Amino acid sequence: MPEPEVLTDRDVAGTDRYVLRKLPEVTLAFWVMKTAATTLGETAGDLFAQTLKIGYFLTTIALFLIFVVTLVVQLRSRRYNPFFYWTVILSTSMAGTTMSDFMNRDASAKFLTDGAKSLGWGPQGLGLGYPTGAAILISLLIAIFAIWKATGLTFAIRDIVTFRAEALFWAAILVSNTLGTSMGDFLSDSSGLGYAGGALLVTGVLAVLVVLMRVPAVPNVVLFWIAFVLTRPLGATAGDFLTKPVAKGGLDLGTAGSSAVLLAVLLGLMGYAHVQERRTAVPEDQTLTGVS
């Protein structure tokens, strides 16, 4: 039997053989899980930083380290594993929440929970504001996509099968989730729309993107990345709507209770995705030898 062929970045382009898939298919279930993960990322980030009063500075460091650990597990995995993939999405959402808050907010009383005089150890915000913070994050995201394009690797998630492409994918995910948090907080706190109004606006834009999928002139890859960014502010506004006081337009369910419910929902969806993946998976020996 011939030795299994190892495909490199260059080999993947234009090949017709089956290669090990590292990322999920983009279906309706994908977007449901993405919204659940980003909403949980918002409530869990606020739970650690605000409710437990750890603060934005320490929470951002801790959640970023968690992101690195989960990313290493995902990158070392040889094939798509729903638990690995969605854990990284969740960690980017949690880290993005506190990274955005740290960039945009300051230590003034308006950002503290009721009765709190301070919020954890260290600086509690750079006070850049949402417009400046968003401009920085948009610039970073454009830079990542420019580097990605220069490599010649695909932007299509279903065709990302190499280490370099996946590393660029996760860099874009982390920045886009942080950007989406800033957009969501701006819609909820500063635009006058409120939590429900902000969520409805983002939902309306996403509906337009669905319609544009039927327009041949608009690349679906572009629509995917716009939708990926926009589902983060949808999760941010939904998370704020669940946790913030009724006086501020929320349901006042609390960060702990909301996070627990959302975690249970996400774990259930991950379990379902894992079962579906096992049913459709091609045996590994066949993927390595190109047999389908």
| 110 residue type, one letter | K
Cα–Cα–Cα angle for 227, 96, 45, rounded to 5 degrees:
115
Q: Output the six-digit token pair for 92.
A: 């980017």
Terminal CA-to-CA distance of the chain, rounded, Å? 17
Residue 163 to residues 6, 169, 234: CA-CA distances in angstroms?
Answer: 13, 10, 30
Cβ contacts of 117 within 8 Å, gap of 6 or more: none
Q: What pLDDT, on a 0 to 100 scale, did the predictor assign at position 115?
A: 47
Q: What pLDDT, on a 0 to 100 scale, did the predictor assign at position 151?
A: 92
Low-confidence ranges of the chain (pLDDT < 50): 1-19, 114-116, 284-292
Q: What pLDDT, on a 0 to 100 scale, did the predictor assign at position 64?
A: 94
Chain length of the chain: 292
Q: What pLDDT, on a 0 to 100 scale, did the predictor assign at position 208?
A: 92
Q: What pLDDT, on a 0 to 100 scale, did the predictor assign at position 169?
A: 93
